[in-house]
Amino acid sequence: MANNEGEGSKNESNQHHSGFPRVALNERILSSMTRRSVAAHPWHDLEIGPGAPSTFNCVVEIGKGSKVKYELDKTTGLIKIDRVLYSSVVYPHNYGFIPRTLCEDSDPMDVLVLMQEPVLPGSFLRARAIGLMPMIDQGEKDDKIIAVCADDPEFRHYKELKELPPHRLAEIRRFFEDSADAITAIQYSMDLYASYIVEALRQ
């Protein structure tokens, strides 16, 4: 009888309080949670890339063809739904932001990325700037970078917006500007972001 009771206690100790059996923790998963190289926040922890400001990493918030306006939640680093567009208008290309940049509207720099396929929100890719769309939003400068996916064979050879087919230019309408202006704007946003980092380290 004593042996049976002992075995019963042992079996109970191997059960989780919810009734499920205990499972040995996966060391690979544990390692991924503590590894410093894992990006915790796509704006601050994802590297912009060694080719910046001309070629850079960007995080996609809205996929090509979507009517859902997603945006970065700056507190958590997650992609949240802002709203669903009312009209039949959809995003003509993948839309997102460039990490470790900062614009005068206190957001990371926006980028529209031309490529063949829609990309899932939260993914990141390599892009190359080919143009700039100057904009003002609620009285503040809100430039949009026009770029191509650096790893898409259909688009990666484009260097400037004027090289695109006419129907592509029609899709992005007023997005046209000299690509040199785009690179200058990205460099400025990188420098502005860096100035905040320096100031934060001083405090």
What is the phi/psi pair of residue 116, to 5°?
Answer: -70, -40
pLDDT computed for residue 177 by the predictor: 47
| Closest alpha carbon to 128 in 151, 110, 154, 162 | 151
- 8 residue type, one letter: G
Is 0.85 surpassed by the pTM of this model? no
Cα 194-196-202 angle, rounded to 5 deg: 110
| Closest alpha carbon to 148 in 71, 70, 55, 61 | 55
Residue 47: C-alpha distances to residues 40, 64, 83 (Å): 12, 24, 29
pLDDT computed for residue 161 by the predictor: 84
Terminal CA-CA length for the chain: 68
> What are the tokens at 41?
């926040």
pLDDT computed for residue 200 by the predictor: 81
pLDDT computed for residue 175 by the predictor: 41
pLDDT computed for residue 174 by the predictor: 45
User: How many whole angstroms separate alpha carbon 97 and alpha carbon 9?
Assistant: 56
The low-confidence residues of the chain, meaning pLDDT below 70, are 1-26, 28-39, 136-138, 173-178
pLDDT computed for residue 104 by the predictor: 81
